[in-house]
Amino acid sequence: MFVPFVFVILFFFVPMAWLVATSMSTHEVGSPPVFTGTLEHYARFWTDPFYLETALWTTVKLSVVSTVLALIIGYVLAYYIAELPAHRRGLLTSMVVVSLSVNIVIRIFGLNVLLMSGGAVDSALTFLGMPKVRIMYTELGVLIGLVQIAIPYVVLPLIGVLAAVDPALKEAAESVGANKYKTFWAVTFPLSLPGVVAGTLIAFTLNAAAFAIPSLMGGGRVKMMGMMAYVQATVQGNFPFAAAVGISLTLLSIVITAIYLFVINRTFRTARKAA
Amino acid sequence: MTATTAVSSGKARWPVPTGLGIAASCAFAFVVAPLIVVAGAALNAEAMFFPPRQLTLRWMMAALTEGSFVNGALISFVVAVVAAAFSTLFALPVALQLRKAPPAVARILTLSFMGPLLVPSIIFALALYSVMIYAFGVTNLSILMIGHVIITMPYPVRTITAVTEHLDPALEDAAGSVGASPWRTFVSVTLPLIKPGVIAGFLFAFITSWNDFSISVFLTPRELQPLPIKIYEYLLYQYRPIIAAVSTWSVIGSAIIVLIIDRLVGLNVFTGRRS
């Protein structure tokens, strides 16, 4: 009990506190950061339109949109798998699990081969007579990557809750005259909310801090905050600014998560009251 | 292609494909596409294209004999096993204490050990990296493992807590009353009862570590790179068939791990269903 606690304090809380301290230190090339309690790095990030537009807005936009898209696509797949008879869910579920357990770098590699100019998607679009679209090294490419990586995290908890929905409830709704859509929105969807919340929270937290995807699919053109913190620290050697970006990103992700949970809780409660 | 047929053959009962079936097939194809593309590119004789034009096993064989990749895979595997073993070992006393602790203490403990889930892993990596660089001037394999223990620990804490909730304290009391020492009680009564949670936690931790990219990209020592970092560095500059072959072997490895998990504890650990 004692050992794990000390371990977490020493290797998680101390480094995080250290990062906060670093973000409030002065930066001078060639010498280690000196703690002065300055907020200049935060001020630099949060007032410069360049950082706000390129890094902050890109990060928020891409992580929110990708989470919503992953939820829609993942929900369809999870719903289909959950509707299958139990003995036939195994193959599809295990493929989703395999996809989840393959390293992110490898999955991005596969996507890049598929999306690169002259690749399968490109050729298919040309074949269909569609105008040429640049996907790789654009925001669209990064978005596709974020959605692809996030889907398994959304699908798996949803299969669990959707398969647990009692069919008798759906039959009851249909017996009082509700059609398929009405039954879905009034019965199935509310019951699946815990799975929706669990999946989207993981997807959002992962995507807000995405590093490998913008790095390999954005070609340095699509700047997200996680990647910026990395470049600032390892390439520029500006640890204080990197730390300020990192702490800002952490707080941003926690605030958006809190707002999301608050909204879900409130709508869910009013929905229950109305029903 | 394989993806779509796998889905449609699964619903032979319905002669007409439903809208849901078609949408789900597309979603499923999107989930598995990168893996199939990587395998296709690895079997390609000439350049990196999908679909392949001329099939060969040359690259697949070459990948097995190229020492740096084999080493990378070994490093990834060893790091994942050690990190998962420590995080499960640490999680055990925590989860067992959580059950007995007063609610206020339990809340603090949960927050301390789940904290790493709230902070984006790339930012925690930056924090640990800056502390270690300041303290030692370098990073090494044990620091990388420490990072992995921190990010993987929430999973065994959660899976073990889930099983201890159903544990009857009377069983342990009974062992104590017939004179068994606390250690003896733990080994012959408690441990067998919570075994499924322990195994699931270890496997989750293993996969999280095996899959990790952001911790490793900061904390990897130059001369001992895990496989994903090695692949990443290649992908930054050029796409070669041998990288696709190495990736394909890694996908096969992941599939075997998933198969083992399925045999040992069932895939329900991923969908969160308690059977």
Q: Which of residues 167-206 of A touch B (CB under 8 A)?
A: 195, 198, 205
Q: What are the residue boundaries of the structural domains of chain B, listed by start?
A: 2-56, 67-271
Query: Average pLDDT of B154-172?
Result: 84
Domain span including residue A102: 42-274
* Neighbour-count burial of B266, counting CB atoms closer than 10 A to its CB (0-12 exposed, 13-18 middle, 19+ buried): middle
Task: Render pLDDT for A148-180 as a digit per residue (tens, 0 to 9).
Answer: 999 999 999 999 899 888 888 888 888 888 888
Q: What are phi and psi of A28, to 5 degrees?
A: -135, 130
Does B112 contact A95 at a Cβ distance shorter than 8 Å?
no
In-domain check, residue A136: yes
Rounded to a whole number of angstroms, the distance from the CA of A95 to the nearest CA of chain B is 7
pLDDT, residue A271, reads 62
Question: Which amino acid belongs to residue B200?
Answer: A
pLDDT, residue B8, reads 45
| Number of domain units in chain A | 1
Mutate to test the interface with B, among A34, A71, A80 (most CBs of B within 10 A): A80
Among the partner-chain residues A22, A105, A119, the one whose CB lies closest to the CB of B50 is A119
In-domain check, residue A243: yes
In-domain check, residue A247: yes
Write out chain A residues lying below 8 Å of B262, CB-based: 90, 94
In-domain check, residue A22: no
Does B20 contact A80 at a Cβ distance shorter than 8 Å?
yes
Among the partner-chain residues B90, B97, B247, the one whose CB lies closest to the CB of A106 is B247
The SS3 assignment for A27 reads: strand
Mutate to test the interface with B, among A20, A103, A261 (most CBs of B within 10 A): A103
pLDDT, residue B170, reads 84
The SS3 assignment for B240 reads: coil
User: In chain B, which residue's Cα lies nearest the Cα of A165?
Assistant: B273
pLDDT, residue A50, reads 87
In-domain check, residue A36: no
Write out chain B residues lying below 8 Å of A211, CB-based: 122, 213-214, 217
From the CB of residue A88, how many other CB atoms can be counted at a distance below 10 Å? Answer: 13
The terminus-to-terminus CA distance of chain B in angstroms comes to: 33
Task: Look up the ipTM and state it.
Answer: 0.87
Task: Render pLDDT for A100-157 as a digit per residue (tens, 0 to 9).
Answer: 889 999 999 999 888 887 777 877 888 887 777 788 888 999 999 999 999 999 999 9
Instruction: Report the alpha-carbon distance of residue B259 to residue B132 in Å, rounded.
Output: 38
pLDDT, residue B275, reads 36
Among the partner-chain residues A76, A97, A250, the one whose CB lies closest to the CB of B120 is A250
Which residue did the predictor score with more confidence, B1 or B154?
A: B154
The answer, for A268 touching chain B at a CB cutoff of 8 Å, is no
In-domain check, residue A25: no
Residues in CB range of B249: below 8 A, 6 or more apart: B60, B63, B64, B73
Mutate to test the interface with B, among A14, A105, A107 (most CBs of B within 10 A): A105
Q: b/e for A173-203, b at 16 or more Cβ within 10 A? A: beeeebeeeebbebbbeebbeebbbbbbbbb
Q: Which of residues 83-142 of A touch B (CB under 8 A)?
A: 83-84, 88, 90-114, 118-120
- Highest-pLDDT range among A6-20, A114-128, B258-272: A6-20
Lowest mean pLDDT among A211-225, B1-15, B17-31, B256-270: B1-15
Structure token digits, residue A101: 């357990």
pLDDT, residue B134, reads 85
Does A18 contact B127 at a Cβ distance shorter than 8 Å?
yes
Which residue in the block uniquely carries the two structure tokens 């892993």? B121
Among the partner-chain residues A76, A160, A247, the one whose CB lies closest to the CB of B272 is A160
| CATH number of the domain enclosing A246 | 1.10.3720.10
Mutate to test the interface with B, among A5, A7, A12 (most CBs of B within 10 A): A12
The answer, for A38 touching chain B at a CB cutoff of 8 Å, is no
In-domain check, residue A251: yes
User: In chain B, which residue's Cα lies nearest the Cα of A4?
Assistant: B90
Establish, for the pair of chains A and B, how many residue pairs have beta carbons separated by less than 8 Å: 272
Specify whether the backbone of A222 is left (phi greater than 0), alpha (psi in -120 to 50) or beta.
beta
Write out chain B residues lying below 8 Å of A159, CB-based: 271, 273
The answer, for A148 touching chain B at a CB cutoff of 8 Å, is yes
If we measure between CA atoms, which residue out of A264, A7, A197, A18 comes closest to residue B127? A18
**What architecture is domain B67-271?**
Orthogonal Bundle (1.10)
Proportion of chain A above pLDDT 90, given as a percent: 50
Query: Average pLDDT of A249-266?
Result: 92
pLDDT, residue B103, reads 85
